[in-house]
Every structure is written in structure tokens, then in C-alpha cells.
Structure 1
């Protein structure tokens, strides 16, 4: 039996890089578990991080901030759902 109160966190973040290091940083990000590169242009990279806690997301973002070529790594948005909410149709109209 699964815990219906278990939470799942999804966050977006913007990574600023030295422009000449962007491709190297994108390649490194692609290898990090639970990180997806959504878009990149010039020295900016938009990523999505997934995990089981805000702390996990923060730890991943802190590791990213320390990568060679990264100037800044900032969380933009975080969404949290509990296990009981995932996959449920939330329609309230009478279909």
C-alpha cells in the first residue's frame, strides 16, 4: 500500500552561464538525474528538476550552481502534489 500523503516536487530554474561555456553546461545538466533541459539560448538555460522534497530540489540546484561555467542558478517556480492527487481527474463539471 502506498502512502497517499507522499509528495512529489517539480521546479523550474534558470541557469546563467558564460556564453562560451553554455554547450558544456547543457551536456553536464543532461547527465544529472531528475534534471531535464527545457531550452537554452545565449548564456541562459531553462531546466526542470523533479524530486521528493524541496530539499532535494535545492540540493540539486546548489550542485548545479557550482558547475564550471555557471554564473547563477535560480529557482523560478515549484509545484508540489501529494501521491493521492497525482493522476486524478479534477473535473468539477457534470460530464
Structure 2
């Protein structure tokens, strides 16, 4: 049974890794598509602290807005993935208690 639990955890962790990388890449691409008079971004300095929902879409081109929408959607999926995985672990642990 330990192998199944380890496998489920590794799948959950790999999914989280893929979603985080996809979100970070979409935010980077969105910030690379700024309008000409927009100030430079601080994404490289802050990394993952820069959430997609905090970016002003008015400072982006149309392509940047599309990347931003995709990044926001991916972040929402990622947060649901984290919460659902956590709840799965908590429920499975408490289900085994006497």
C-alpha cells in the first residue's frame, strides 16, 4: 500500500510542478508583451511572488492579455490542485484512524 501512496504523491507533485512552470512562463510572456509606454516589470526580481491577477491588463498588448488570461486560469487550476491534494491526504489519514 505504501507504493500506491508514494505513486499518488509523486503524480500530485509532478502536476503541481508542471502547473507552476506553465503559470510562470505565461506571466513572463505576458510581461514581455507590454505596450510601449508601460514601465518595466519587476518579474525577474520577485519571481513567483508576482501573481497574474496583480498585473494590470491595461499595460499589455492584445497578445499579452491573452497570455495573462491563460496565466490566471492556470494559477486557479494550480491552487485547486494544491488544495484538493492536501484534502485528499488529510481525509485519507483521518480515515485510517480508529
Q: Do both proteins adopt the same fold according to a TM-score greater than 0.5, normalized to the shorter chain?
A: no
More RCO (CA 8 Å, sep 6+): 1
Higher-Rg structure is 2
| Structure with a larger share of its residues in strand | 1
